[in-house]
Amino acid sequence: MMFTVHQTFHTDLITGIYPEAERLGYDVLLSGATHGRSEAKAVEALLSHRCEAVILLGPDADPAYLAELGQRTVTVSVSRRVPQAHVDFVHSAEGKGVRQAMDHLVELGHRRIVHIDGGRGPGSAERRRAYRAAMRRHGLEDRARVIPGEHTEESGIETGRLLLAERDSGRPLPTAVLAGNDRCAMGLLMALTRAGVEVPRDLSVVGYDDSHLSHLMPIGLTTVRQDAVLMAEHAVRFAVERLENGELPPREAVLDPKLVVRGTSGPAPAEGSQGVSA
């Protein structure tokens, strides 16, 4: 199994993969991708150990490489869909999850809702499209704003600094931010709270993943839950079934996400009542 070392949601997926693999009589070998170790190198290390199948957690590799990998060995991609590749896919219904989050915020009275993009991260394109579609559906298309980012805490911190600098120059803060994932949301919360912005009184924050860290914070993160255990079970079963029958066509499992409301989302603040600069 190939995973990205710093992605907390991958830890949740790994936790679910081990028992299902053992139940079906298979061992699991891990190979991590980091800033200094590419996904391709992590995958080739697995193949060098004669792994029978490869499960890729949130792969960011070139689609051509993934298509070629699918021809070489049994391959399952989790959280990223690669059309036309001979690879099985397991992911959540990203658009449905974003719609739930956006409906929640609009129902709370939010109109200035910003989205921090996840860049090339898994699910980012679908989440970005769903955010724009939700803003249109609620008649807020002219207020839509996507800030470039990544699925990292650093991206959230940088966005927080940007929004605070804009506030100090006279542009009001958004009333809510939909972050690309939980890590990004946590970075944003760090930047905002250090500057005296109270969440959710001054600004609401919603993440995506419901990784295990999201409910361990002093204030629990409102987020869209992806069922890591169910995703892990589907991935292992797909791999084993293809090992038993290599003629199976590529398959896709799309799982329903669920909004989990915690402490970082609340009613939109009244105009002009958001935190002021120190």
- On whether both 103 and 14 belong to a single domain, the answer is no
- On whether both 194 and 113 belong to a single domain, the answer is yes
- On whether both 11 and 118 belong to a single domain, the answer is no
CA distances from residue 22 to 28, 56, 198 in whole angstroms, order as listed = 8, 18, 46
- Pick from 33-37, 124-128, 237-241, 272-276: least confident: 272-276
From 268, 243, 247, select the one nearest 52 (Cα to Cα).
243
CATH at residue 109: 3.40.50.2300
pLDDT at position 277 is 44
- On whether both 190 and 213 belong to a single domain, the answer is yes
- On whether both 213 and 102 belong to a single domain, the answer is yes
190-206 per-position pLDDT tens digit: 999 999 999 999 999 99
In a domain, 261, yes or no: no
From 103, 101, 100, 106, select the one nearest 116 (Cα to Cα).
101
- On whether both 105 and 199 belong to a single domain, the answer is yes
- On whether both 241 and 203 belong to a single domain, the answer is no
- On whether both 113 and 76 belong to a single domain, the answer is no
How many structural domains comprise the chain? 2
pLDDT at position 275 is 54
- On whether both 107 and 65 belong to a single domain, the answer is no
Rounded CA gap, 47 and 19, in Å? 22
pLDDT surpassing 90 at residue 120 = no
In a domain, 199, yes or no: yes
pLDDT at position 273 is 64
Find the domain containing 180 and state its range.
94-225
pLDDT surpassing 70 at residue 152 = yes
In a domain, 216, yes or no: yes
- On whether both 209 and 244 belong to a single domain, the answer is no
pLDDT at position 213 is 78
- On whether both 117 and 197 belong to a single domain, the answer is yes
Q: What is the mean pLDDT of the chain?
A: 93
Q: Output the DSSP codes for 31-97.
A: EEEBTTB-HHHHHHHHHHTT-SEEEEES--S-HHHHHHHHHHSEEEEES---TTSS-EEEEE-HHHH
In a domain, 274, yes or no: no
pLDDT at position 216 is 73
pLDDT surpassing 50 at residue 278 = no
230-247 per-position pLDDT tens digit: 999 999 999 999 999 989
**Token pair 């207020």 in the structure block, residue:** 143
- Pick from 43-52, 75-84, 251-260: least confident: 75-84
pLDDT at position 155 is 97
- On whether both 213 and 231 belong to a single domain, the answer is no
In a domain, 275, yes or no: no
Confidence of residue 166 (pLDDT cuts 50, 70, 90): very high
pLDDT at position 93 is 95
The Cα angle at residue 97 between residues 94 and 99, in degrees rounded to 5: 110
